[in-house]
Structure 1
């Protein structure tokens, strides 16, 4: 597993015979990975909690990736958590990832 991570591969962990929900494990590669760790939030799974990247960064990053699935994920996260998101933090990530037009479309959806 270490060799896969060292080669730049990501490892997805999910329940047997399912693809969602999943956790993606990878080595830190860039400033966005570092920001995900430095600004992590806690997600509760049953009785346990795990650190995850901030939702604002997840949304902007998925818009940056731009695949249909990633954009759908961004829309879902935005709709689900809109009231608890920090608009200034989201807009900071949107600007840093240069996805302003995609974000404007997301807000209108």
Structure 2
């Protein structure tokens, strides 16, 4: 297998990469979630290396959780104890053992979107 997974976060409200967002990756099987990686976005909004590199890649169902509450507060886009967006889970499947999967997050204080990138 030569597949791998990457991600990045873009702050669409400010038009910049989102630096300092913690991201956790879970393998999902039925109702079971097993954390397999954790990282933080760099100054380009990306991770320094694939969040699921070639040697660790297997097909299946996964979930990325983007912990964006602290970032939104630090950038002045969210205030208060309870934020509209604090953690964003994205569940997706990967079925091609040799593919590069890229799952970015486009973030604003009150909404987000994702897609399969390249």
**Same fold judged by TM-score > 0.5?**
no
* TM-score bracket for this pair, using the shorter chain length: under 0.3
More helix per residue: 1 or 2?
1
Question: TM-score, normalised on structure 2?
Answer: 0.21
Question: TM-score, normalised on structure 1?
Answer: 0.22
Q: Which of the pair has the greater relative contact order for Cα pairs under 8 Å at 6+ separation?
A: 2
More strand per residue: 1 or 2?
2
